[in-house]
Amino acid sequence: MGVTRAGASPRWASSSTPSKPTNNTTPTDWRTTATIKTALAGGYCLRAPAQGACQYANICEHCPSFHTTPAYLPVLTAQRDDAQALAHDARHRGWDHETERHLHLITRINNWG
C-alpha cells in the first residue's frame, strides 16, 4: 500500500460499505453469489465451491484469546446479520457444512452479549 499525504484519505477509504464487488463485473450482491463466502471486518472473502471453506474463516472469532467490548457492538451486529444471510443462502443451496459454519459464528456472537 502506498503512502498517503497528511490529511488525505487513503484510496480504500469510503464512507459506506460496498455491497457489490468493486470490479463491477457482477451485478449481484456478494452475499447471494454461488460461492463459499465469509464476511470479514474489512470486507469479504469469496471462494469457489470446489475450494471449500477457508481454514482461516472467522478464525479470530473462534479463538479463546479473542476479546470484545460493547464498543464493538455495531461491528458484531453487522457481522452477525451477514452471517445470518449467508447461513440462509447456504441452506437454500443445500450446503450443510456452510450452513453450520455460519450458525456456529452466530451462536458465538450471540453468546458474547
Q: State the residue for C-alpha cell 457444512.
A: 97
Is the pLDDT at 107 greater than 60? The verdict is: yes
What confidence score (pLDDT) does residue 4 get? 37
What confidence score (pLDDT) does residue 11 get? 38
Give the lowest-confidence range in 31-45, 75-89, 93-107.
Answer: 31-45
Q: Rounded distance, CA 32 to CA 87, Å?
A: 11
Structural contact between residues 20 and 67, judged by C-beta atoms closer than 8 angstroms: no
Is the pLDDT at 80 greater than 50? The verdict is: yes
What is this structure's pTM?
A: 0.71
Give CB contacts under 8 A, 24+ apart, made by 29-36. Answer: 31/82, 31/85, 31/86, 31/89, 32/89, 34/93, 36/95, 36/98
What confidence score (pLDDT) does residue 41 get? 77
